[in-house]
């Protein structure tokens, strides 16, 4: 659903710069992300699951190293 919005391109006194646009009522992804950061308790959840997050990050780092070590040997060779 769209809403008609009047956009002032210039000053209020000039009507030549007046444009009519349609604005969507759908919230943008960046605004939803900002609302999530401001209103949710994501930081407390990150602290609560800190050990699991650390283990997951070490698993990703180990997997990356396991994939890159053979590539490094092929490049040096």
| pLDDT value at 68 more than 90 | yes
Task: Give the pLDDT score at 27.
Answer: 82
Name the average pLDDT for the chain. Answer: 81
Task: Give the pLDDT score at 15.
Answer: 58
Task: Give the pLDDT score at 77.
Answer: 83
Identify the bridge partners of residue 19 per DSSP, sorted by sequence position. 7
Distance CA 30, CA 37 (A): 11
Distance CA 56, CA 77 (A): 32
Which residue, chain included where needed, has tokens 């605004």?
31
pTM of the model: 0.49
Distance CA 36, CA 16 (A): 40
The ranges assigned to domains in the chain are 1-40, 41-77
What average pLDDT does range 57-61 have in this prediction?
A: 98
Q: What percent of the chain has pLDDT over 70?
A: 69
């Amino acid at each position: 659903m769209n809403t008609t919005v009047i956009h002032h391109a210039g000053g209020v006194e000039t009507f030549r710069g007046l444009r009519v646009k349609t604005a969507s009522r759908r919230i943008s992804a960046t605004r939803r992300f900002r609302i999530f950061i401001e209103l949710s308790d994501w930081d407390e959840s990150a602290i609560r699951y800190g050990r699991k997050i650390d283990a997951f990050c070490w698993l990703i780092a180990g997997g990356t190293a396991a994939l890159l070590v053979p590539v490094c040997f092929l490049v040096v060779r």
